[in-house]
Amino acid sequence: MNSSMKRNPPRAGVLFAFEGIDQSGKKTLSALLMERLKQVGIQGEIISFPDYTTPIGRELKFYLAGEREYPPQTRHLLFAANRWERKRDIESWLQGEKVVLANRYVASGVAYGMAHGLEKDWLWNLEEGLPKPDQTFLIDIPPQVSFARKMKERDLYEEQTDLLKRAREAYLDLASEGHWAVLDGTREMESVFSDLFGGVMEILSSRGYKIRPSPRTHP
Ligand code: TMP
């Protein structure tokens, strides 16, 4: 998280963001996490960006399928605008003391924008005013692993090894600046999840969440 960004206003919920290049396991991990949170009595919501269900999200889907062309700044404004379309929902979940899991969030805008050669500060400014994550988890994998996990039907960005390499580098740069938790996503899912769950529980306990004992210890 950019240290120059203003602090969040007080709120009751917790927002966790999951970042990483394609095929890093973000969606699987957040779905497992939501299941486990429910088992320990914690209410939550999952949101994924791009959110393809909104008007701007539908436009992004066309772009990612190669059916639209935009200059780099315009498309990154669209990616950010797509998050602004969901701002009120995220805020209301947080006010309702929910744990919100975001599959890709503000840092995707910044990392992929940087990978396309855009200015980091310009990119962060587009996100200024959105709820800030309490913790960002970077599920780190190299592009070769992303390709090995999904060989066909890759979208416009997924096809480009150099872009993924630059996005990964940008993520690692942002992670060290923003004190994110970096998890080695090349490991078995169970092992990545166990680290993730430990980190999440620590934060939730420190924020006063009541955690009901769960019989299950593995995903
Ligand atoms: P997805 O595969 O997770 O649905 O994301 C589609 C692509 O959009 C992915 O390659 C990353 C890219 N992206 C950005 O460039 N900026 C953003 O702000 C977001 C959310 C995604």
- Taking CA atoms, 37 is separated from 14, 34, 111, 162, in Å, by 12, 5, 28, 37
User: Does pLDDT of 216 surpass 70?
Assistant: no
- Whether residue 171 lies inside any domain: the answer is yes
Residue ranges making up the domain that contains 48: 14-206
pLDDT at 23: 95
- Whether residue 41 lies inside any domain: the answer is yes
The protein residue with its alpha carbon nearest to ligand 1, atom 2, reads 22
Q: Is the entire prediction scored with pTM above 0.85?
A: yes
If you search the block for the tokens 């949101």, which residue do you land on?
47
Domain of residue 183, CATH code: 3.40.50.300
109 lines ligand 1 (CB under 6 A): yes
The protein residue with its alpha carbon nearest to ligand 1, atom 6, reads 50
- Whether residue 214 lies inside any domain: the answer is no
- Whether residue 212 lies inside any domain: the answer is no
- Whether residue 217 lies inside any domain: the answer is no
> Which residues share a beta bridge with 46?
101
User: Does pLDDT of 189 surpass 80?
Assistant: yes
- Taking only the tens place, the pLDDT of each residue in 135-164 is 999 999 999 999 899 877 766 776 788 999
User: Residues of the chain with pLDDT > 70: what percent?
Assistant: 90
Q: What is the total count of domains within the chain?
A: 1
45 lines ligand 1 (CB under 6 A): no
134 lines ligand 1 (CB under 6 A): no
How many C-alpha atoms does 65 have within 13 Å on its Cβ side? 8
- Whether residue 7 lies inside any domain: the answer is no
Atom of ligand 1 nearest to the CA of 158: 10
- Whether residue 6 lies inside any domain: the answer is no
- Taking CA atoms, 85 is separated from 42, 134, 149, 208, in Å, by 26, 20, 31, 30
Q: Strands, DSSP E only, in 39-180?
A: 44-48, 99-103, 135-140
Ligand 1 centroid – CA 79 distance (Å) = 8
